[in-house]
Amino acid sequence: MNEARRIPRSEWQLSIDQREKNAKISRRDAQHNQECHLCGRKMSKKASENALRVHMSVDGDLIETSAEVSDSQGFFPVGSECAKKLPVGFVRKPFRREV
């Protein structure tokens, strides 16, 4: 059950500074009220609804999306650029009814 592949938070998390820079880049559009969970870039509500998801543990590690683990915090939207950098199995499409 707990043998799922993980990416520790220390390996994916950007510095606070870099996240703030990213958020500012896209802050001009007031509709951009959601953000990529990994880099902080803003995205529109619609984009975030359709965005790929990562599976996050309560400690902030990324978990294989297919894994069922006891410390899951749930699924969070990520931008397409960040999704591309993750290994196969660490992103998935949003559930139909998930908003």
For Zn ion, the binding residues (CB under 5 A) are: 36, 38-39, 41, 79, 82
Residue with smaller CB distance to Zn ion, 39 or 91? 39
Q: What DSSP state is assigned to residue 95?
A: P
Q: Where are the alpha helices (DSSP H) in 1-99?
A: 9-12, 16-25, 45-50, 80-85
Token pair belonging to 76: 């969070």
Q: How far is the CB of 87 from Zn ion (least distance, A)?
A: 16
Residue with smaller CB distance to Zn ion, 41 or 53? 41
Q: How far is the CB of 35 from Zn ion (least distance, A)?
A: 8
Q: How far is the CB of 39 from Zn ion (least distance, A)?
A: 3
Token pair belonging to 81: 């650029």
